[in-house]
Structure 1
Amino acid sequence: MNTFGRTAVALTGAALVAVAGSGAANAQSETQWCTGGDLVISAHRMNKPSANATAHWMRFAPAEGASCKIGGSLSNVRFLDAGGRDMNIPLAGGQTGHYVEVPVGGIHEAAVYVGSQIQGPTVTPAYMLFNLPGQGSLGDLVLVAWPSSIGTIVRVGDVMEPVG
């Protein structure tokens, strides 16, 4: 093969690599929406903001090798006792209406903050049951162990990037 032929083959190969590379970049920019299998979800107690309040945060970490995005609010939130029965704890908002989509993958996580006012007795749920946000429909139904007591009126915030 002459020099012209080798140069043409090299240029063609370089063009194919460039086209393949741009396809990979487009695939990365179109990150999938998180499902229950993409996430490791856990609830954690935070320092009490006051004697009359509780604070918790939900950690949405990526499952091994997962990369996705999540945004919006949890739906159908219910607190369950150890036997799996609904404790009928009322929700009193908490959503800010500030919608963001949070990337989850590698070192990136998402969070939901849960607070309650203590205006009487506290209750100690064993679990929190909810639907993840979906795209145009409800997301997966998720059951998460709950770490400590709460007041009997609860506020559940929107999905956001963890604070701090």
Structure 2
Amino acid sequence: MSMLGKTAVALAGAALMAVTGTSVAQAETPWCTGSDLVISAHRMNKPSANKTQHWMRFAPAEGASCKISGTLGNVRFVDEGGREMNLQVTGGEPGEDVAVPVGGIYEAAAYVISTIQGPQVFPASIHFDLPGQDGPGDRVAVAWPSGIGALVQVGGLRRPAD
């Protein structure tokens, strides 16, 4: 085989290894834990007069790269005194579990809609379990920015809306 042929074979092999290595690296991306994420809650514009809407931002901690999928578990809203508030929380969107990469410029989001039937309540924080790879993940608490109604729906984790 000529020198040019050997070089072409070596380059093709290197390219194949690079592609295969990238696929393996993506497949081995770790599942997000609480320490991998900077989580915050933000109020959005009201979708209607009797609803409030918030989004939960799941940004990467410095240098973190992980993936997350599913729904937040055991969601509880807590008042300033640390007491659980009596809110009806439903959640999840079955069938929409797609692994979302978190790292660099990539983030995940979960959307929270509440129906206001009566007065609003003003939680100090939201507590929940992150989804883990084989069951519930880390328990986290995040400051809550504003009032909500007593009926709350928490959506599944996904890429943030543009």
Tell me the TM-score normalised to structure 1 length: 0.84
63, 66, 80: which one aligns with 2:64: 66
Aligned residue number for residue 147 of structure 1: 145
Contact 2:71/2:91 (<8 A) preserved:
no
Determine the C-alpha separation between the residues in 2 that align with 1:146 and 1:90. Answer: 17
Q: Deviations over 1:69-93 (max 9, x none)?
A: 00000000000001111012111x3
Give the % identical residues: 62
37, 48, 63: which one aligns with 1:39: 37
**Matched letter for residue 109 of structure 2:** A
1:38: how far off? Answer: 0.3
82, 85, 92: which one aligns with 1:95: 92
**Matched letter for residue 53 of structure 1:** K
Structure showing the higher strand proportion among its residues: 2
Determine the C-alpha separation between the residues in 1 that align with 2:148 and 2:99. Answer: 28
Aligned residue number for residue 3 of structure 1: none
1:150: how far off? Answer: 0.1
Determine the C-alpha separation between the residues in 1 that align with 2:64 and 2:27. Answer: 15
Aligned residue number for residue 124 of structure 1: 122
Q: How does 1:80-91 map to 2 (within 5 A)?
A: 80-91=78-89
* Structure 1 vs Structure 2 CA RMSD: 2.1
Determine the C-alpha separation between the residues in 2 that align with 1:138 and 1:162. Answer: 22
145, 159, 162: which one aligns with 1:161: 159
Aligned residue number for residue 113 of structure 1: 111
Determine the C-alpha separation between the residues in 1 that align with 2:129 and 2:85. Answer: 17
Greater CA radius of gyration, 1 or 2? 1
Aligned length: 152
Determine the C-alpha separation between the residues in 2 that align with 1:61 and 1:81. Answer: 25
Displacement over 6 Å in runs of 4+: none
3-state SS in 2 of match to 1:37: helix
**Matched letter for residue 92 of structure 2:** Q
Q: Deviations over 1:29-72 (max 9, x none)?
A: 31000000000000000000111000000000000000000000
**Matched letter for residue 78 of structure 1:** R
Determine the C-alpha separation between the residues in 2 that align with 1:23 and 1:85. Answer: 51
- Segments of structure 1 that go 5 or more residues without pairing to the other structure are 1-6
- Segments of structure 2 that go 5 or more residues without pairing to the other structure are none
Determine the C-alpha separation between the residues in 2 that align with 1:96 and 1:27. Answer: 29
